[in-house]
Amino acid sequence: MVAELISQEKKIKNPDTVFTAGLLHDMGKVILDQYNFEKFNLIMDRVLNMAMPFLDAENKILGYNHAQVGGIIARKWDLPEVLIEAISFHHRPQEAKENPDVVSVVHIADNICSMIGYDCEADSLAGNVDQFAVSSINLHSDDVDMIVEKLPEIMKKCKDA
């Protein structure tokens, strides 16, 4: 919902597609949890108890990460390229070739949610917003302020749904 809000405010086309991209961007985590449960628990242990960034823990334990897994599955499922890119590159938006604006919105929304505690990542307060993403959608601090102001309303919608 945060990605959809950003896309509406920044006039990114197809806010419904951005909403779907935001919803699916971490599908690789769900897949890893379901099919590699023991190692996923090791990852979560490092994240929560050793304050290791989630991607670092995944790469260290598995040799790959949830974005890579999610991207492979999204391509196998023949999802649209915009969704494949959002899933694959939401931590590295500068690598998106066809839809950098959508990937950037998902990246920024993911970071905003992490910064306010709607994520389990130990580095959630580190402010890891990629400057490419910020510039690609022309995001300004007053835009972020407006988004943060609307978050309680968004979170209420999530709870009521």
For residue 18, pLDDT over 50 is answered with yes
Q: If pLDDT is split at 50, 70 and 90, which confidence band does 161 have?
A: low
Residue 139, CB half-sphere, CA atoms under 13 Å: how many?
28
Question: Helix, strand, or coil here: 9?
Answer: helix
Per residue in 69-113, pLDDT tens? Answer: 999 999 999 999 999 999 999 999 999 999 999 999 999 999 888
Q: Mean pLDDT over residues 12-20, rounded?
A: 92
Q: Which domains does the chain have, with CATH numbers?
A: 2-160 (1.10.3210.10)
Rounded Cα–Cα distance for residues 142 and 37 (Å) = 41
